[in-house]
Structure 1
Amino acid sequence: LIVAETSPDAVLWMMAADSAIADTAALRTALDQAVAAARAGRVVTFGMKPTRPETGYGYIEQGDGLPDLTGVHDLTAFVEKPDAARAAILASDGRHLWNSGMYVLTARTALAEFEAHAPAVLDAVRASVAGRAQDLDFIRLEPKSFATAPDISIDYAIAERTHHAAVVPADLGWSDVGSWDALWDISDKDAQGNVAVGDVVLASAENCYVRSDGIVTAVSGLSDAIVVVTGDAVLVTHRDHAQDVKKVVEQLRASGRQEAVSHRRSYRPWGFYESLIEGDRFEVKRVHIMPGERLSFHKHFHRAEHWVVVAGTAEVTRETERLLLRENEGLYMPLGVAHRVANPGRIPLTLIEVRTGSYFGEDDIVRLEDDYGRI
């Protein structure tokens, strides 16, 4: 919708964030073919030539080549993720391709297809776009309208319903890195078939994927295992069960665990904050404020805050008082006192914030002034 406001005939390339493509030269050729078809009004996807029977991907069936569109075929059918026996047939019959989930089409075509096949989605998103706000380099859609849009993928919304579907068969060295096992598959391995990322020690391990984002992680005597250690969670599973991570996330959500919906690092218009330590009636965070930005003028009813500047310069407003804090200087902000922190400098400002009190939820922020329209 936003692109269509100024360039309705612009060609869009929609792709998932977890696609890995090894052959960029082949990708450029496939894109050129797809763009030509998109400009002719087609909804184009890339079909990846199967290298093995794969039950984790959907398939598409290619039809005859389209006249005057080199390398582009009619798309005759979508096939849901098959079982092993069906996958073996699809991968070898020469007519079926892996569904990459990538689409190329013009903004004008996209709007026409959504209008025809998924008008409820279009109406909700149109209202959300109309209420959008600019936030630095981001466009923030109006959330309430967007939340009313039906939860449906572009495949089901328009690709499987359109009368203008086309496919470009391609061999791009593509992988849908949608699981930890897929990440093991495309990564460089040692002589024992292991992939180690971060501070990792391996002993008598084979064909494992081990990743640590912090503490030293040792794995001994395991085969075909996935071990992932982050700041707030640890995952240990067999590679054959990598897809079952979804079930774990569902359990976390059902039990109300915060780890299912947020990371320790939370981004805001002014920068980010990161939880370092949490305990009974205290919490320690690292606060990163970009040059020229500032937090809202606000207060808390359930917590006090202690700040220490570790990099940069902080301009602090405490009620009507203004103070400058430099590296290694600190300040105490009592409960109930209105305050704000700004970064007047040219380098990022980093604070260590120690919160003390009975409650640390984000809803204990009473904003009095805000540069980002969050009041």
Structure 2
Amino acid sequence: MHAITPVILCGGSGTRLWPLSRKSYPKQFARIMGDESLLQGCARRLSGQGEGLDFAPPMVLTNADFRFMVTEQLLEAGIDPGPVLIEPEARNTAPAVLAAALHLAKDSPDALMLVAPSDHVIPDTSAFHAAIAKGAEAARDGRLVTFGIAPTHPETGYGYLDLGDAPDGTGAAMPLRRFVEKPDLETAKTMLEAGTYLWNAGIFLFAARDIIAAFEAHAPGLVAPVRAAVEKARADLGFLRLDPEDWAGADSISVDFAVMERADNLSVVPYAHHWSDLGSWAAVQQEAGADENGVTLSGPATAIDCEGSLIRSESEGLEVVGLGLKNTLVVAMPDAVLVADMARTQDVGAVVKALRAKGVAQADSFARDHRPWGYFETLALSGRFQVKRIVVKPGAALSLQSHVHRAEHWIVVSGTAKVTIDDTVKLVSENESVYVPLGAVHRMENPGKVPMTLIEVQTGSYLGEDDIIRYEDVYARESDD
């Protein structure tokens, strides 16, 4: 019996949890509900063995910006990643699922693949494994299986699955009549009362050959460009870059619209245990729990005479205090603060659109910029100077590079840096500094076993991250990432 291959979709931007989740570092990588990220929780849930299941190493589909975050977080969680496929651009879930199936089918066309978003919360792993086992029975019989969540309230933010009949309570896979788009409130109430509808979790299970056949039957226009993108994929360190030209020829469409709503071999496994896609701050509050006044606090936050509110600080040095708040959301980051009516948490995406229209950098980016070697964050920025904190992981190295428009002054505040400036290589220890002249070819490395921290002062006529000429890079990056 083949092991089930988890296919983790890890490319979303998560704007509904702004300002904690942004395009440069979306919610699947954030530690929203504890000490591990949502991606780590997903991968851990779909690993090892249990309930008669055997999971292969996960296949992950993501974009180039997130590739190092994916592998770093999985390894940090003790999970050896399988293939990591790099999507050249976002094309929704249908091309991603097809690419995963084609890649898997090269060696194991009969293998089952479990497609799951990377940002869901499913706390009862044992119950979820039991549901997967039920779905696997149907998938081995050629069915395309989806998982439906027993609704607990009339939710308008989810699509629904129409079963026709109420689940029998055994959790066995049953025929799926149709998909239902996100309803209005009255329709959602009617479906809840009927007892024959489930929330669409966006989790699927099928054999690679069966989903490929479904694409060939119902979305044949996707098959040729995606197949070509997979066949022409290029190995890049531990990643597999899908061919960008062929990938661009694939329509951007969800797997629901492209295949699942048209197929006639659909089954659904009802899941009556807890599940959340953390699709809003209201969902985060529900998951985190509240005190007797309905107040949820996170980080250095204080509530005085507040009711029904979520107050969250993501900065150790930033104390957030709510006084007399009712049904209010407050999320404070070092560079942005969101204050909203809790009833409007589904509309946070509109905030991001408004900020983008104004050209506000915080719409998509953090002051802290994650890189494969560590991270940097801007502490001060003016017309002709910028001050950064740079943290380099043990054994990591920045690229060998030069700048056309700026010079740099580095002050090591923790650890030891190995610094290359043109033909000179030397160690710079704590409380020591070094000057990098404009145009000098330079590199910074951390030869130690603990993170190295330095303060960088840039001066020059242009301070953008694209003012980098790379000569050598251990991470084989193709741009200024």
Change (3 A) 1:6 1:254: farther
Secondary structure of the residue aligned to 2:276 is strand
Aligned mate of 1:169, from 245, 270, 289: 270
**Aligned match of 1:25 in 123, 126, 129?**
126
Amino acid at match of 2:437: P
- The sequence identity of aligned pairs, in percent, is 46
- The corresponding residue for 1:153 is 254
* Paired residues of 2:166 and 2:196 also in contact (CA < 8 A): no
Please give the alpha-carbon distance, in whole angstroms, between the structure 2 residues aligned to 1:203 and 1:223.
Answer: 11
Instruction: Quote the residue 1:339 is aligned against.
Output: 442
User: Who is 1:304 aligned against?
Assistant: 407
User: How far apart, in 2, do the equivalents of 1:147 and 1:289 lie?
Assistant: 35
Question: What are the within-5 Å matches in structure 2 for residues 183-262 of structure 1?
Answer: 183-214=284-315, 215-262=318-365
- CA drift of 1:233 comes to 1.3
CA RMSD of aligned residues (A): 2.5
1:264-288 CA distance string (max 9 Å, x none): 2323232322333333322222223
Q: What CA distance in whole angstroms lies between the structure 1 residues aligned with 2:370 and 2:249?
A: 24
1:131 match: 233
Distance in 2 (CA, whole Å) between partners of 1:123 and 1:261 is 33
**Match 1:315 to one of 418, 424, 448:** 418
Q: Give TM-score scaled by structure 2 length.
A: 0.71
Cα gap change, 1:223 to 1:77, in 2 (>3 Å): same
Structure 2 unaligned spans of 5+ = 1-99
CA contact (8 A) 2:233 2:240 kept: no
- In the TM superposition, what is the alpha-carbon distance from 1:122 to its structure 2 partner? 4.6
> Any conservation in 2 of the 1:135–1:269 contact (CA below 8 Å)?
no
Cα offset, 1:202, TM superposition? 0.9
Say which SS state the counterpart of residue 98 (structure 1) adopts. strand
Could you tell me which residue of structure 1 aligns to residue 460 of structure 2?
Answer: 357
CA offsets 1:177-230 (integer angstroms, 9 cap, x no match): 100011111222112110000010111110101110111111111111111111
Name whichever of 110-119 and 25-34 sits farther off: 110-119
Residues of 1 paired with 2:418 and 2:259: CA distance?
51
Post-superposition offset of 1:126: 4.2
Q: Secondary structure at the match of 1:190?
A: coil
- Pick aligned residue for 1:265 from 350, 368, 371: 368
Moved more, 328-337 or 19-28: 19-28
- Determine if contact 2:226/2:247 at 8 Å carries over to the other structure: yes
Aligned residues of 1:20 and 1:174 also touching (Cα < 8 A):
yes
Structure 1: tracts of 5 or more residues without a match: none
What is the one-letter code of the residue matched to 1:40?
D
Aligned 8 A contact 2:335 2:367 in 1: yes
Distance 1:277 1:142 in 2: 40
CA-to-partner distance for each residue in 1:95-142, whole Å, 9 max, x for gaps? 111111111223333333334434454545445543344445x55555
Deviates most, 124-133 or 158-167? 124-133
Change over 3 Å in CA distance of 1:80–1:131 after alignment to 2: same
CA distance in 1, matches of 2:255, 2:350: 24
Change in Cα spacing, 1:347 to 1:48, as seen in structure 2 (3 Å) is same
Change (3 A) 1:352 1:30: same
How far apart, CA to CA, are the structure 1 residues paired with 2:383 and 2:467? Answer: 17
Return the offset for 1:359.
1.9
Q: Secondary structure at the match of 1:293?
A: coil
2:457 is aligned with what amino acid?
V
Q: Tell me whether 190-199 or 123-132 shows the greater mean CA deviation.
A: 123-132
Q: Is structure 2 residue 211 aligned with structure 1 residue 110? A: yes
The 5-angstrom pairing of residues 34-49 of structure 1 reads: 34-49=135-150
- 1:21/1:221 Cα in 2 relative to 1: closer, same or farther (>3 Å)? same
> CA separation in 2, counterparts of 1:326 and 1:87?
63
Question: Any idea what SS the aligned residue of 1:262 has?
Answer: coil
8 Å CA contact retained: 1:318, 1:337: yes
Whole-Å Cα distance in 1 between the matches of residues 279 and 414 of structure 2?
A: 38
Provide closer, same or farther for how the CA distance between residues 352 and 7 of structure 1 changes in structure 2, counting only shifts above 3 A.
farther
**Is the contact made by 1:307 and 1:331 (CA closer than 8 Å) also made in structure 2?**
yes
What does 1:272-311 correspond to in 2, within 5 Å?
272-311=375-414
1:88 aligned partner = 189
**1:53 aligned residue (154, 157, 164):** 154
Secondary structure of 1:176's partner? coil
Q: Residue type matched to 1:81 in 2? A: K
Return the alpha-carbon distance in structure 2 between the equivalents of residues 287 and 125 of structure 1.
Answer: 39
Does the 8 A contact of 1:179 with 1:243 survive in 2?
yes
Which is higher, the Rg of structure 1 or of structure 2?
A: 1
Alpha-carbon distance in structure 1 between the residues aligned to 2:186 and 2:210: 37
Q: Separation in 1 of the partners of 2:241 and 2:376?
A: 19
- What is the one-letter code of the residue matched to 1:328? N
TM value normalised by structure 1: 0.90
Partner of 2:18: none
| Residues 64 and 74, structure 1, Cα contact 8 Å, conserved in 2 | no
8 Å CA contact 2:237, 2:476 repeated in 1 = no
- Greater Cα offset, 311-320 or 176-185: 311-320
Taking a change above 3 Å as real, the CA distance of residues 286 and 132 of structure 1, as seen in their structure-2 partners, is farther
Which is worse superposed, 51-60 or 14-23?
A: 14-23
> Does 360-369 or 121-130 show the bigger shift?
121-130
Q: Using the TM superposition, give the Cα deviation of residue 23 of structure 1 relative to its aligned residue in structure 2, in angstroms.
A: 3.0
Opposite residue 465 of structure 2, the aligned amino acid is E
Q: Which amino acid aligns with 2:233?
A: G
Contact 1:65 1:74 (8 Å CA) reproduced: no
